[in-house]
Amino acid sequence: MRRFNFLIIGSSGFIGNKLSKRLKECGHNVITLKRISYSSLKKILERSHIDYCVHTASGIVPSSSAHNFFEEYDSLISKTFLLVDTCQQNNIPFIYLSSAGAIYEDSISKITEKSKLGQSTFYGASKHVIEQYVIKKDLDYLILRPTNVYGRNLNNVNANQGFIENSIKQIMLSKPINLYGSSSKYRDFLFVDDLVEIFLMLINKRVMNKIINIGSGKVNELKEVIDELYKLLNKKPNITIGEDRSFDKKIIDIDISMLEGLINYKSKDIYCGLKYYLSSLGILSGDERK
Listed by start position, the domains of the chain span 5-289
Strands 5-9 and 52-55: parallel
Rounded Cα distance, 68 and 64, in Å: 6
The residues near 189 (Cβ < 8 Å, ≥ 6 apart) are: 147, 148, 149, 150, 164, 216, 220, 225, 270, 273
- Rounded to an integer, what distance in angstroms lies between the CA atom of residue 19 and that of residue 12? 10
Residue 19 backbone dihedrals phi, psi, to 5 degrees: -65, -45
Q: At residue 232, what is the residue type?
A: L
pLDDT at 104: 95
pLDDT of residue 287: 53
Residues in the chain predicted with pLDDT less than 50, given as ranges, are 289
Q: Are 150 and 225 in contact (CB under 8 A)?
A: no
- The CATH number of 5-289, from 3.40.50.300, 3.40.30.10, 3.30.70.270, 3.40.50.720, is 3.40.50.720
Return the pLDDT at 35: 82
> DSSP letters along 260-271, please?
HHH----PPPHH
Give the pLDDT of residue 285.
59
Q: What is the pLDDT of residue 1?
A: 64
Q: How far is CA 250 from CA 15, 62, 184, 219, 270, in A?
A: 25, 14, 7, 11, 18
Of 255, 148, 249, the C-alpha closest to 212 is 255
What is the rounded CA–CA span in Å between residue 212 and residue 290?
32
